[in-house]
Structure 1
Amino acid sequence: MSHPAANLPQLFTEARRWFEDALFASMEAAGEQPVTTAQASVFALLDAEGTTVSELARRMGVTRQTAHQAVHGLIGMGLLEQVPDPGSARRRLIRTTAEGQRVHERAQATIAVIESVLAERIGAAGVQALRGGLTADWGQPPLVSAP
């Protein structure tokens, strides 16, 4: 039985999973605490001065409750902290701790090595083409109707 060719969203999902699997396994092998995909997303979306849980949820495309769970798991691990927002007495900002910054920097260095492995496997031109296509301005999402 033959399967239809995967569409681009499926291929993007598989590629992201490949990177996450490599990153998470490499970090754990190096002795770092295991994190979930949602927790890793929090680090990628945090502003340097801190970000509210509501804003993190919006950026992640998840509910506030889901973002809250990811954040509080990372707070419990000592990687994030909650601090008062100097601009609003009612809001709290989430930001990295010194340990969280160390882990984040290690993760970024690990991703760079994973990218170099990918370049060895598919060629530097292939990685450059991927990066070029993904960073190009795609414009607004189109409204289309299938035949």
Structure 2
Amino acid sequence: MPSPLPPGRLAAELLLASRWFDDALRARLAAEGWPPVTPTRSRAFLAMSGGPARISDLARELDITRQAAHQLVDGLEADGLVTRRPDPTDRRAQTVDLTTAGRDLARAAGRILPALEHELSDRIGSDAVAALRDALARDRGPAPG
């Protein structure tokens, strides 16, 4: 069966699908009483999921200026979700790590996301979600230059 998606449209649809998950996740977190999570904050949490990150690395990962990254971290810190520390390997840099509340928020997101996948299965079919999961798990190699 041919795809109903015209060639050249896949990237846009992947971005829209990502936004569907992020919008739903942020709405559910808000309904549970968490501080507002913007799309940028959501991406910052993803960037810190592997552990502490330098502010400069966050800026690069989020494709924002270092000044914007500092402002983002200021807000997350004010909400008690992250803490800054001097980087032990570079005294000029700072690392950002999730606080207990930040880890609790990340765990809440980790609980909500599988439920959203289940909802997507109900909407488009479990076979389609399984095929999507399989396709996205494959190694795409480096981005073409």
Which consecutive unaligned segments of at least 5 residues does structure 1 have?
none
Q: SS of the counterpart of 2:70?
A: helix
Corresponding residue for 1:64? 66
Runs of 4+ in 1 over 6 A off after TM superposition: none
The CA distance in 1 between the partners of 2:86 and 2:69, in whole Å, is 18
The equivalences for 1:14-33 within 5 A come to 14-33=16-35
Aligned CA RMSD, in angstroms, stands at 1.9
Per the TM alignment, residue 141 of structure 1 is displaced from its structure 2 partner at its CA by 2.9
3-state DSSP of counterpart to 1:75: helix
Report the alpha carbon displacement of residue 49 of structure 1 after superposing the two structures with TM: 4.2
- Provide the residue aligned with 2:12 in structure 1: 10
SS of residue in 2 equivalent to 1:138:
coil
Task: Give deviations 1:50-69, integer Å, cap 9, x for gaps.
Answer: 11110111122222223222
Aligned length: 140
Q: What's the offset of the Cα at 1:37?
A: 0.5
Q: Which amino acid letter does the alignment assign opposite residue 9 of structure 2? A: N
- Identity of paired residues, percent? 36
- Give the Cα–Cα distance (whole angstroms) in 1 for the partners of residues 69 and 27 of structure 2: 23
Give the Å deviation of 1:47. Answer: 5.3
Inter-partner Cα distance in structure 2 for 1:121 and 1:97: 36
Q: Which moved more, 1:36-45 or 1:133-142?
A: 133-142
Q: State how far apart, in whole Å, the 1-side matches of 2:28 and 2:107 are.
A: 14
CA–CA distance in structure 1, aligned partners of residues 86 and 126 of structure 2: 45
Q: Return the offset for 1:119.
A: 1.2
Report the secondary structure of 2:53's partner residue: coil
Say whether the 8 Å CA contact 1:42–1:56 is kept in structure 2.
yes
Question: Using a 3 Å threshold, how does the CA distance of structure 1 residues 48 and 136 change in structure 2: closer, same or farther?
Answer: closer
Post-superposition Cα deviations, 1:41-90, rounded to whole Å, max 9, x if no partner, equal 11101155411110111122222223222222111111011012222222
Mapped to 2, the partners of 1:114 and 1:47 lie a distance apart of 19
